[in-house]
Amino acid sequence: MFLEFRMLSRRDVVLAFAVLPFVFWRPLRAAAADTMLRVIGMVGDDVEDGRVEYDAAALDALPQTRFATTTPWHDTPVEFAGVSARDLFQAVGAHGENLQLIALNDYVVEAKVSDIIAGDGLFATRQNGVPMPVSDKGPIFLVFPFDQRPETQHQAYYSRAVWQLAEIVVTP
């Protein structure tokens, strides 16, 4: 029995290169899908290049906070639950003063760590006890207790209420 070799046609080569990314991308995509929130920059022991990633279970393992409030995007009060900004920044060892809050659609908001903490920011993962889907501001929504904190009923805080939050960059 002899093996027969033939030259690959241009079509065969193009097809092979078109299919290869899908073969190798699937495991990478699955691993990335497990990460719900990435906090990078001035976190942990690193001066500038720290990185902490959380999946749903890791976020749930942090101290949980809940409050009910109305928002400009909801007609009635909604109960939000998740990790307070104070607890998250302490857990990651954030030591910068500024943030970039980046949503899944690459929407970016810049804010001061102190403002997010002072406003009692909550990285909500649940709305009315149910995990928040991407289609309804999830999986993470930075929200403030607007009803309990009248000073947060301002465009400065409304614009910092980032939904579909995926990444936080901590900078000097």
pLDDT score at 14: 47
Over residues 105-162, the pLDDT tens digits come to 999 999 999 999 999 999 999 999 999 999 999 999 999 999 999 999 999 999 999 9
Q: Stretch 56-70: mean pLDDT, rounded?
A: 97
User: Distance between CA atoms of 89 and 95, rounded to whole angstroms?
Assistant: 8
User: Distance between CA atoms of 80 and 123, rounded to whole angstroms?
Assistant: 9
Which residues share a beta bridge with 146?
none
Neighbours of 60 (CB within 10 A): 16
Q: Fold for 35-171, please state it.
A: Sulfite Oxidase; Chain A, domain 2 (3.90.420)
